[in-house]
Structure 1
Amino acid sequence: MADKTAIIIGAGPAGLTAAYKLLTDTDIKPIVLEETGFIGGISRTAEYHGNRMDLGGHRFFSKNEEIMNLWREIMPLQGTPARDDTLLDRKKPLAPGGPDPEKTDRVMLVRNRVSRIFYLRKFFDYPISLKAQTFINMGFSRTMMAGFGYMRSAIFKRKEESLGDFYINRFGKPLYEMFFEDYTEKVWGVHPGKISPDWGAQRVKGLSLSKAVLSILKKPFVGNSSKNVETSLIEEFNYPKKGPGQLWEQLAELVREKGGEIRMNTRVTEIHGENGHVAAVTAAGDDGEATRLTGDYFLSSMPVKDLVCGMCDVPANVREVAEALPYRDFITVGLLLKRLEIKNETKMKTVGNIVPDCWIYVQERDVKLGRLQIFNNWSPYMVEDLENTIFVGLEYFCNEGDDMWTMPDEKFIEFAIGELEKIDVIRRENVLDSVRINVKKAYPAYFGSYARFGEVRDFLDTFDNLYCIGRNGQHKYNNMDHSMLTAIEAVAAICGNKKSKNDIWNVNTETEYHETKSGA
């Protein structure tokens, strides 16, 4: 394979992993083309006035040991989890005898996972627990309805024709209506009854109310290993000291050091293929000048919609499906605060005694806010003045071009502040600084023409040297580790000269994996 070249579209987790694996496992030179000026895609870390934002929230854990080892290879793991839930003191070593954290940037921390649901202006465990406080928060009538609803769902199973059916079968209709229905509609902009159950098959998978209860009973015997419990119930995860983008920036450096090439601000506009073979792509830089790049292999993590639209001689049915593929876009507002109004009523200790959550699912029906991140709790190094300020991220889901997307920054930030104030989380006078970031095509969606996605996949698979990888590359809501696995499988297919792409497409189809909330 000497003197061969692979053109990789996208410098996110999938594209960078593919480049790295090609350099370590083959003699193929990767050329990575990234449309934006940022490394990491939606997994990047955005910085504003010394404070850092994780766009979407990214926990580094996987049931796949190869992925865990690769992360540790890129960025060494330091520290031990704080068993009493105390956040790391930035002035202390990461572990006994370990390095001074102020002098060591490129390390992964071990963090405690806390995520809760905010509903009825109260906190509920996530996933839903059977603690007394849960029933107190719900009230007697809701608790009774939830119990009878769950029993009914356990006896009378629905035919799963939609995501709504999927949830009801696992949690019962009352719990579905309380904790899933409205939030899911916030995320996707359509009712769960109109979304394919494929979403649940990928993101909810093995988790149900009974699994959550069983996990509690098993915990004293099996511990917290990711191999022993449902991933949604994992209590610890790894996290780069300065956010997820730090790891991908480090991987990009390794790719360059090993001889790979990464071209930023370079957008692929055309894919030149015929007779089942891709010969080249045309890419344009900031100056608008187009360049034709030839290669032997082509790995694409660009949105399938854009990939197909950049091709010639596409069958009419395939182009019709691809052009109509739905996506959900994303807006995050970063607010630097003096304080939060919500109190830490848990037994977990935090710097400043703020609530311990990494993120909070906002189930309240009177606001459009979907999720609230507290960056202090992801890593103490995400916030410049950890002792005196709190940096939060408000997450909104929208469609590119809609009213939220086009609203001027200042007006949208004021709207977001008003929503947090409305649900008694902050006071406007405690806002010190703010920023807004829009992200296009953050989430491939499972409705509309997605039902015919197989026609698009079959067409793309006719090209012997084209490999679709990553979240947008497969129009599949992959997490970081699954996106990386698609890249690893693509490189394995190249090395093994495999004609079938099934191993690449089949990543993230096992029956156990991730989150039960329909979010990022």
Structure 2
Amino acid sequence: MKKVLIIGAGPAGLTAAYELLDKSKDFEVTVLEESDVFGGISRTVNYKGNRMDMGGHRFFSKVPEVNEWWEKMLPTQGAMPFDDIELGRTSTVKDGGPDPEKEDRVMLRRNRLSRIFFNSKFFDYPVSLKFDTIKNMGLGTTIAVGCSYMKTVFHKREEKSLEDFYINRFGKKLYSMFFENYTENLWGRHPSEISPEWGAQRVKGLSIRAVLKDIFGKTFNKKNRVVETSLIEEFAYPKLGPGELWELTAADFEKMGGTIIKNAKVTKIIKDADNKVTGLAYVKDGKEVQIDGDYVISSMPVKDLVEGMNDVPEEIAAIATGLPYRDYMTVGVLIPHLNLKNETKTPTMGDIVPDNWVYVHDKTVHMGRFQIYNNWSPYMVEKIKDTVWMGLEYFCNEGDWMWSMTDEEFGKMGISEMVKMGLIDNESDVIDYHVERVKKAYPAYFDTYEHMDDLRDYLNTIPNLFCVGRNGQHRYNNIDHSMCTSFETVKAILAGSTDKSAIWNVNTEKEYHEASSESEAQK
């Protein structure tokens, strides 16, 4: 029986582990997880009955295989969840599906709303051309935005940077209002210093042109119109947060005979003279343990993977060492009331604004975004009728001034910024708070990233090593793309293939330009 070692119990690692045992009985599969929880950045943190989603995770995919997998693991709701019942709202239900009021293993259907908070006003994201947008911008600014965009229609910039990418799709005026400062806050670098590839993978086909196309598609009821991921209006979401999916996957994997070793930090990848991986070493309880394997599937940061290898060429090691990341800190804040007025037509519990998350474009604060967990799932909040449970999100670098704050210092900073932004009146309004940190949350697209192809080519020379997921490929993957890298890896292993091109081709710019009808995307 062949031994497969999988590094990391996040979406990519657990998907690969489950798929291997589900598709074949010829493998002994062991997952090594550095922490004691499942899901990686997609985990759910339970703090006194209030659940936090690390970064916010909408479940929506254009890939039928992914949607079928989610449906198998967490069936779509067959009845309305608590808040929809209370408010008389409607959402998609599936005949015979579980009732979220009675069962936990259920995928909710939620309305999508994300907006930009700029100059103390809300703007739709993606930017819309509604009357409210024009009203909030002012007629003069709206005209300037339109003229700026028309200039880019006739004079495209050569896309050498993320700045060029944004300006080509939104015009310089809109870019300076809604993208420039936020992007610099997110990455700690000006967009002119960042590869345009990040935009190709994250902003996808979104542009003013795409927004106009979507508006006209709705207006004229165009059938089978293409829906960009950023324009979806409803998404799936696990009842108890994204971590629920991975906790269930891990439990099912173990029932199938798989092994998971928690608190096991992988430190070495052992290669033989033929450049094949023969096993790895991990540290648990202060002791180093070596384990043999026929295959290694890695979702750990590729920087750490290569640094732990023996006999790596100097130039390849230098590329890996120089790969940049952005770290993430968040503070969950429990309050009795949120000051922001709900001026939408969507009814909500406590009449709070209905946003899932809000992008903060305010140079006077460090906050990058805030989530309202009440709107993700009513089951994320212990007292949904009486409290608002929020997540204030910040982007930083491990070891910098923000990361070096104590939890108390960081929590107080976040709460003070809530007051400054008018989200609450006083710091004393806060009932409780909780801080979480995530290292290497976002693989970044600058520094030695320009040589990533050389690093990938080297990794591909190791026949029985497969790199999957966001950090495993140093690519800003969504959950579905991370899962797809694992689907392709399992197919390759089952076929006895060492061709990894299909694995690395997941989530490339080409895929984003491929049409997928609305009906296909929402199967």
* TM over 0.5, shorter chain: yes
CA distance in 1, matches of 2:5, 2:235: 33
Cα shift at 1:513: 4.8
CA distance in 2, matches of 1:512, 1:502: 14
CA distance in 2, matches of 1:173, 1:512: 27
Q: Is the 8 A contact 1:163 1:198 kept in 2?
A: yes
Return the match for 1:260 from 255, 258, 261: 258
Partner of 1:306: 304
Partner of 1:416: 414
Residues 411 and 498 from structure 1, CA distance in 2 versus in 1: closer, same or farther, beyond 3 angstroms? Answer: same
CA distance in 2, matches of 1:168, 1:479: 24
Residues 330 and 507 from structure 1, CA distance in 2 versus in 1: closer, same or farther, beyond 3 angstroms? Answer: same
Deviation sequence 1:410-454 (CA, Å, 0-9, x none)? 111111111111111112232100011010000000001101112
CA distance in 2, matches of 1:165, 1:42: 30
CA distance in 1, matches of 2:317, 2:295: 23
- Once structures 1 and 2 are overlaid, which stretch shifts more, 313-322 or 492-501? 492-501
CA distance in 2, matches of 1:105, 1:52: 14
Q: Is the 8 A contact 1:186 1:397 kept in 2?
A: yes
- Structure 1: runs of 5+ lacking an equivalent: 515-520
Secondary structure at the counterpart of residue 14 of structure 2: helix
Aligned-residue CA RMSD (Å): 2.1
Cα shift at 1:369: 0.4
The answer on 1:200 being equivalent to 2:199 is yes
Partner of 1:505: 504
Return the match for 1:24 from 15, 22, 25: 22
Give the 5 Å matches for 1:127-276.
Answer: 127-219=126-218, 228-274=226-272, 275-276=274-275
CA distance in 1, matches of 2:78, 2:67: 16
Q: Is the 8 A contact 1:232 1:513 kept in 2?
A: no
Partner of 2:327: 329
The answer on 1:433 being equivalent to 2:403 is no
CA distance in 2, matches of 1:426, 1:140: 31
Partner of 1:489: 488
CA distance in 2, matches of 1:442, 1:457: 20
CA distance in 2, matches of 1:198, 1:337: 39
Cα shift at 1:397: 0.3
Deviation sequence 1:187-215 (CA, Å, 0-9, x none)? 00000000001101111221110111110
CA distance in 2, matches of 1:362, 1:223: 34
Secondary structure at the counterpart of residue 72 of structure 2: helix
CA distance in 1, matches of 2:21, 2:202: 32
Residues 142 and 92 from structure 1, CA distance in 2 versus in 1: closer, same or farther, beyond 3 angstroms? Answer: closer
Q: Is the 8 A contact 2:87 2:349 kept in 1?
A: no
Secondary structure at the counterpart of residue 185 of structure 2: helix
Q: Is the 8 A contact 2:87 2:347 kept in 1?
A: no
Q: Is the 8 A contact 1:7 1:299 kept in 2?
A: yes
CA distance in 1, matches of 2:215, 2:79: 23
Q: Is the 8 A contact 1:271 1:282 kept in 2?
A: yes
Give the 5 Å matches for 1:456-475.
Answer: 456-475=455-474
The answer on 1:341 being equivalent to 2:336 is no
Partner of 2:316: 318
Residues 12 and 112 from structure 1, CA distance in 2 versus in 1: closer, same or farther, beyond 3 angstroms? Answer: same
Return the match for 1:87 from 71, 76, 84: 84
Runs of 4 or more above 6 Å deviation: 90-94
TM, length-normalised to structure 2? 0.94
- Once structures 1 and 2 are overlaid, which stretch shifts more, 384-393 or 288-297? 288-297
Secondary structure at the counterpart of residue 84 of structure 2: coil
Residues 466 and 99 from structure 1, CA distance in 2 versus in 1: closer, same or farther, beyond 3 angstroms? Answer: closer
* Structure 2 counterpart of 1:385, one-letter code: K
- Once structures 1 and 2 are overlaid, which stretch shifts more, 328-337 or 502-511? 502-511
Partner of 2:388: 390
Deviation sequence 1:367-421 (CA, Å, 0-9, x none)? 1100110000000000000000000000000000000001111111111111111
Return the match for 2:11 from 6, 10, 13: 13
Deviation sequence 1:45-71 (CA, Å, 0-9, x none)? 001111000000001110001000001
CA distance in 2, matches of 1:148, 1:90: 42
Return the match for 2:355 from 354, 357, 382: 357
- Once structures 1 and 2 are overlaid, which stretch shifts more, 406-415 or 468-477? 406-415
Cα shift at 1:99: 5.0
CA distance in 1, matches of 2:509, 2:495: 23
CA distance in 1, matches of 2:283, 2:96: 50
Cα shift at 1:79: 3.9
CA distance in 2, matches of 1:192, 1:137: 26
- Structure 2: runs of 5+ lacking an equivalent: 514-523
- Once structures 1 and 2 are overlaid, which stretch shifts more, 312-321 or 137-146? 137-146
TM, length-normalised to structure 1? 0.94
CA distance in 1, matches of 2:385, 2:411: 25
CA distance in 2, matches of 1:349, 1:127: 21
Partner of 1:518: none
Partner of 1:40: 39
Deviation sequence 1:148-206 (CA, Å, 0-9, x none)? 10000111000000000000000000000000000000100000000001101111221
Residues 424 and 164 from structure 1, CA distance in 2 versus in 1: closer, same or farther, beyond 3 angstroms? Answer: same
CA distance in 2, matches of 1:277, 1:244: 35
CA distance in 1, matches of 2:497, 2:162: 35
Q: Is the 8 A contact 2:327 2:397 kept in 1?
A: yes
Deviation sequence 1:7-42 (CA, Å, 0-9, x none)? 000000000000011001122121000000110000
The sequence identity of aligned pairs, in percent, is 55
- Once structures 1 and 2 are overlaid, which stretch shifts more, 69-78 or 95-104? 95-104
CA distance in 2, matches of 1:87, 1:481: 27
Deviation sequence 1:307-345 (CA, Å, 0-9, x none)? 000011111111111111100000000000010111001
Q: Is the 8 A contact 2:336 2:388 kept in 1?
A: yes
- Once structures 1 and 2 are overlaid, which stretch shifts more, 438-447 or 212-221? 212-221
Residues 478 and 156 from structure 1, CA distance in 2 versus in 1: closer, same or farther, beyond 3 angstroms? Answer: same
Residues 91 and 246 from structure 1, CA distance in 2 versus in 1: closer, same or farther, beyond 3 angstroms? Answer: farther
Aligned residues between the structures: 508
Cα shift at 1:238: 0.6
Q: Is the 8 A contact 1:45 1:244 kept in 2?
A: yes
Cα shift at 1:76: 1.0
Q: Is the 8 A contact 2:356 2:371 kept in 1?
A: yes
Q: Is the 8 A contact 1:203 1:513 kept in 2?
A: no
* Structure 2 counterpart of 1:362, one-letter code: V
* Structure 2 counterpart of 1:370, one-letter code: G
Deviation sequence 1:90-140 (CA, Å, 0-9, x none)? 999996886553431111111100110000100001100011111111112
Q: Is the 8 A contact 2:204 2:228 kept in 1?
A: no
